[in-house]
């Protein structure tokens, strides 16, 4: 009784489209990768920013809020002054890392071929 059965890729609520709208956003997949490979599993905001060269505070904040909202990332606040906020992947987020890693592997193995195709054109 899943909301949209297999093969129903093109209905208005298309799950694949909605997922790509999320992970296709510029920093999302980076956050997932960094959190998945983080040693303690939990990473603080500033730490994340350091491990993601080029990300602005705003976009990191927006990305994390979105992922938290989607239940892929969990937020833990230490009520100290100044506050410390830790982020980690939920089980759902960890499960997403699997197909995402497969996609990364494909990219790392085949982007060169795409570059070659572009060069010919």
Partner DNA sequence: CGGGATCCGTGGCGATACTG
Partner DNA sequence: CAGTATCGCCACGGATCCCG
Residues at the contact surface with DNA, assessed by CB under 7 A: 21, 25-27, 44-47, 54-59, 61-62, 64-65, 75, 82-85
Residue 70 binding partner per list DNA, a copy of itself, none, with a CB distance cut-off of 5 to 8 Å that depends on partner kind: a copy of itself
Residue 46 within binding range of a copy of itself, rule CB under 8 A: no
Instruction: Name the residue with tokens 């992970």.
Output: 23
Beta-carbon contacts of residue 26 (< 8 Å; ≥ 6 apart): 59
Ranges within 18-37 binding a copy of itself (CB under 8 A): 18-21, 23-26, 29-30, 33
Q: How many other CB atoms are there within 10 angstroms of residue 97's CB atom?
A: 18
Max CA separation in the chain (angstroms): 58
Residue 107 binding partner per list a copy of itself, DNA, none, with a CB distance cut-off of 5 to 8 Å that depends on partner kind: a copy of itself
> Residue 114 Cβ, how far from DNA at the closest point, in Å?
15
User: Could you give the CA distance from residue 18 to residue 105 in angstroms, rounded to a whole number?
Assistant: 22
């Amino acid at each position: 009784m899943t909301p949209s059965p297999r093969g129903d890729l093109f209905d208005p609520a298309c799950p694949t489209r909605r997922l790509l709208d999320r992970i296709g956003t510029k920093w999302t997949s980076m956050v997932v990768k960094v959190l998945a490979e983080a040693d303690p599993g939990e990473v603080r905001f500033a730490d994340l920013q350091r491990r993601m060269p080029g990300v602005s505070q705003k976009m990191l904040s927006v990305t994390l809020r979105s992922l938290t909202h989607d239940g892929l990332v969990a937020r833990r606040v230490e009520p100290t002054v100044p506050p410390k906020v830790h982020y980690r992947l939920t089980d759902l987020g960890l499960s997403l890392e699997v197909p995402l890693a497969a996609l990364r592997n494909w990219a790392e193995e085949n982007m060169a071929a795409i570059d070659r195709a572009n060069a010919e054109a």
